[in-house]
Structure 1
C-alpha cells in the first residue's frame, strides 16, 4: 500500500507539471501519433508491391503492428530509462536516489514516467480493431483476459531488456550507450519472425525476445495455431526477463560507489 500511495502521488505531481504546458503536451502526443502513422504507411507501401509476405497477408501484419503498439506504449510510459547512464551515473543523480527509503528502481521509473505515451495503446487498439474487422476474426468472452495477459507479458519483456541494459552503467560509467541500437532492434518484433533467417529468428525469440511483444502473442488472435505455444509463453518470458533485470539491478546497486572523482 505504501508503494501504491507513492505511485499515485507521483502521478498527481506529474499531471500538474504537464498541464502547465498544454501546448507542449499536445505537440508531443501528435508527434508520437505521426511516428506511428509513418510506420503504418511503410507497411502499406510494402504491400503495394506484393500480396503476401512469407505467407502473411497485409491485414495480418497490420494487426501484428497494432498489437505491438499496446505493450510498447506501456513500456514507453513506465520504463523510459534510455538516458539512465548519462543522467543517473555520469551526472551522479543516483546518489540522490539512494538516500531515500524506497527501492531505487521504483524511484527511477516514476521520475521518468511519460503518461502521454499511453495514447499509443489507443492507436494500437484502433489498428487492431480495423485489421480484425477486415480479417473477420472471431471473438470470445475470454479473449480480453488473454489479451491483457499477453500485453503485460510483452511490456515486461521490453522492460526487462532495457532495465538490464541500464544496469551496465553500474559497471561502466562511459557516456556511450547501446540503448538507441536496442530500440532499433526492438522494432523487428513487430514483424513475423519467419521472414528472417534462422539466426535472427533465434535471437528475437530467446536472446532478445522482442518477438514476444508483437508477432507471437498476436498470432493467437490471428488463429495461427503453429505459433500458439509461443503465444502462451509470452507472460512467462516477460516475467523471467523482468525478474532477471531486478536481480541485475540489485547487484549493480550494491556495486555502485557514488559519483566521485
Structure 2
C-alpha cells in the first residue's frame, strides 16, 4: 500500500505540473500524433506497390502497428530512462535516490514519467478498431482481458530490456550510443517476423524479444493460429525479462559507490 500511495502522489503532482503548461502538452500530443501518422503513411506507401507482405495484407499490418502503439505508450510513459547514465550516474543524482526508503528503480521510473505518452495508446486502439472493421474481426467476451494481459506483457518486455541497458551505467559510466540503437531495433517489432531471415527472427523472439510487443500478440486477435503459441507466451516473456532486469539493476546498485570526482 505504501508503494501504491507513493505512485498516486507522484502522478497527482505530475498532472498538476503539466497542467500549468497546457500549450506545451497540446504541442507534444500533436507532434506525437504526427510521428505516428508518418509511420502509418509508410505502411500505406509500401502496400501501394504490393498486395501482400510475407502473406500479411495491408489491414493486418496496420492492425499490428496499432497494437504495437499501446504497449509502447505504456513503456514511454513509465520507462523514460534513456538518459539514466548521464543524469543519475555521471551527474551523481543516484546518490540522492539511494538516501530514500523506497526502491531506487521505482523512484527513477516515477521521476521520469511522461504520462502524455499515454495518448499513443488511444491512437493505437483507434487504428486497431479501423483495421479490425476492415478485416471483419469478431471478439469473444474474454478477448478484452487477454488484450490487457498481452499489452502489459509487451510493455514489460520493452521495460525489461531498457532497464537492463540503463543498468550498464553501474559498471561503465561513459556515454554510449546503445540506447538510440536499441530504440531503432525495437521498431522491428511493428512488423511480422516472417519477413526477416532466420537469425533476425530468432533475435527478435528470444534475445531482444520485441516481436512480443507487436506481431505475436496481434496474431491472436487476427486469428493467425500458427502464432498462437507465441502470442500466449507474451505475458510470460514480459515477466521473465522484467524480473531479470530488476535482478541486474539490484546487482548494479550494490556495486555503485557514488559519483566521486
Normalising by the residue count of structure 2, what TM-score does the alignment of the two structures yield?
0.99
- Whole-angstrom CA distance in 1 between matches of 2:245 and 2:14: 26
Listed one character per residue, the Cα deviations across residues 145-175 of structure 1 (whole Å, up to 9, x for unaligned) are 1101100000000000000000000000002
Aligned to 2:35: 35
Instruction: Structure 1: state its 5+ residue gaps.
Output: none
Q: Does 1:20 align with 2:30?
A: no
Listed one character per residue, the Cα deviations across residues 197-241 of structure 1 (whole Å, up to 9, x for unaligned) are 000000000000000000000000000000000000000000000
Q: Is the 8 A contact 1:63 1:218 kept in 2?
A: yes
* Count of aligned pairs between the two proteins: 261
Instruction: Structure 2: state its 5+ residue gaps.
Output: none
Aligned to 1:198: 198
Aligned to 2:114: 114
Corresponding residue SS for 2:123: helix
- Report matched runs for 1:1-261 at 5 Å: 1-261=1-261
- Whole-angstrom CA distance in 2 between matches of 1:135 and 1:176: 43
Q: Is the 8 A contact 1:85 1:177 kept in 2?
A: no
- Whole-angstrom CA distance in 2 between matches of 1:9 and 1:154: 26
- Whole-angstrom CA distance in 2 between matches of 1:61 and 1:165: 29
- Whole-angstrom CA distance in 1 between matches of 2:54 and 2:212: 19
- Whole-angstrom CA distance in 2 between matches of 1:153 and 1:9: 25
User: Residue 130 of structure 1: CA displacement?
Assistant: 0.1
Q: Is the 8 A contact 1:80 1:112 kept in 2?
A: yes
User: Residue 176 of structure 1: CA displacement?
Assistant: 2.1
Listed one character per residue, the Cα deviations across residues 27-68 of structure 1 (whole Å, up to 9, x for unaligned) are 011101110010000000000000000100000000000000
- Whole-angstrom CA distance in 1 between matches of 2:23 and 2:101: 36
User: Residue 16 of structure 1: CA displacement?
Assistant: 1.1
